[in-house]
Chain A
Amino acid sequence: MKKFFAAVILFVAVTCSSFARAAAVDIDLTRMSSTMVYSTVFNMVNSPATFVGKTMRMRGEYTTYPVSASQTIHACLVRDAAGCCSQGLEFVLSNGKYPAGANEITVVGTIAVQKIDGKDVCYLKNSALE
């Protein structure tokens, strides 16, 4: 009986924490279909103004782009349903500890905009890996 109650309490705790975590962000891409994930990121990158300031969780392929000898862009890559189009979003981790050799990552952060060559470029600031 004790085991049963313990299991129920554990289940409720896990479920509640899961809901609490889901409710903690404005846009949760991990709960969307691949078509919606790609479309959301595409629209975010192309017209970032409507998304700035919102918190977002996304899951995708971790990739890096060396910009110079001292600077590297860290990005999370998502693909469309057909698998032929991909869209990446840069993220900046708060702790600065980027994963080594990771393939799929889940990252949470706040959508922000930075000016690069006079163009508004969207990225995730104050990010953390889950």
Chain B
Amino acid sequence: MLETLELYLQYPFVINALIVGVLIALCSSLLGVTLVLKRFSLIGDGLAHVAFGALAVATVLNFANKMLLTLPLTILCAVLILRGGQRTKIKGDAIIAMISVGSLAFGYLVMNLFAASSNLSGDVCSVLFGSTSILTLTDAEVWLSVGLSVLMIAAFVLFYHKIFAVTFDEDFARAAGLNVDACNLTISVVIAVIIVLAMNLVGSLLISAFIIFPALSAMKLFKTFRAVTICSAALSVACAFVGIIASILAGTPVGSTIVAVDALTFGICFAFNEFGGLS
């Protein structure tokens, strides 16, 4: 098996997949803790569907780098969901559901009407479940993913204390002079960027699991925000690495293998917590 792995690691696209996969896993896990604590777990799912719709339009318009259209549209919808939801009469979860299914349906419709590829079902399957997307990245996509990931990690480290304050008590943060609206806006933009990046790794239907599982697993082991965030990042990176390696060795779809490893890790953490854990 090691011999086979050594052979596979000679291919540059496998190394690219591991680098991008680990970086995306790190990004998504950092913000996953905040999303779970703010009861925004499903926003990832909603934005992933928006990203699918945008990707469908980019495919039909023959964009060389589809991220150039997918990223701004997803960011726009993230802002609309998080900021618009506070002002309109439609509740936040209803807005997420509405934009989510609307984008999914619109994306599939556009792909069907103006199919640029002869293998439509394959394209849709690949985007929804990320079967091998991470192993078929172009050099431009790799550099864009690495650049955005580094930017996201830097933003999280830089605004760690503000994110912490906004996550636990918005009223207290506002009373302490923090611009909570600006913080929430920043968080929504960062979420959108991570969703678009993670779509290459696990596909748009599996992104939520990718964001939520490491955070929930870490919460079973630790109780402080810092410890949970660090543990979540470590678990997410380890699961992504093991998932990618397992999928190329066993010949299974990359996205679902990573999520399966995440789910298994959650099961172990849950059992550890229930039967003789740290708390």
Contacts and interface: CB of A to CB of B under 8 A. Distances in A.
A36 interface: yes
B253 interface: yes
Interface in B30-69: none
B119 A39 contact: no
A35 B125 contact: no
B276 interface: no
How many of chain B's residues touch chain A, expressed as a range? 20 to 34
A80 B132 contact: yes
A38 interface: yes
B126 A81 contact: no
B122 A81 contact: no
Contacts, number: 73
Interface of B: 4, 8, 11-14, 119, 121-123, 125-126, 129, 131-132, 135-136, 138, 247-254
A81 B253 contact: yes
A42 B136 contact: yes
Contacts of A33: 248-251
Q: DSSP class of A's interface residues: helix, strand, loop or mixed?
A: helix
B132 A35 contact: yes
A86 B248 contact: no
23 contacts: A31-B4, A32-B8, A35-B135, A35-B248, A39-B13, A39-B14, A39-B132, A39-B248, A42-B132, A42-B135, A42-B136, A47-B138, A50-B12, A80-B126, A80-B253, A81-B131, A81-B132, A81-B247, A84-B122, A84-B126, A84-B131, A85-B119, A85-B125
A80 B11 CA distance: 17
A34 B135 CA distance: 12
Contact of B253 (A31, A46, A82): A82
Nearest to B137: A43
A38 B14 CA distance: 12
Contacts of B247: 35, 81
A40 interface: yes
Given A33-B250, A85-B119, A86-B122, A38 B13 contact: no
Interface residues of A, number: 20
Sort A-B residue pairs by CB-CB distance and give the 4 closest, nearest first.
A33-B251, A84-B125, A39-B135, A34-B251
Interface string A53-81: 00000000000000000000000000011
Contact of A82 (B129, B136, B248): B129
B51 to A, nearest CB: 19
B1 to A, nearest CB: 11
Nearest to A85: B122
Contacts of A46: 136, 138
Contacts of B250: 33, 35
B126 to A, nearest CB: 6
A81 B254 CA distance: 9
Given A81-B131, A81-B132, A82-B131, A36 B126 contact: no
Most buried by B among A31, A46, A84: A84
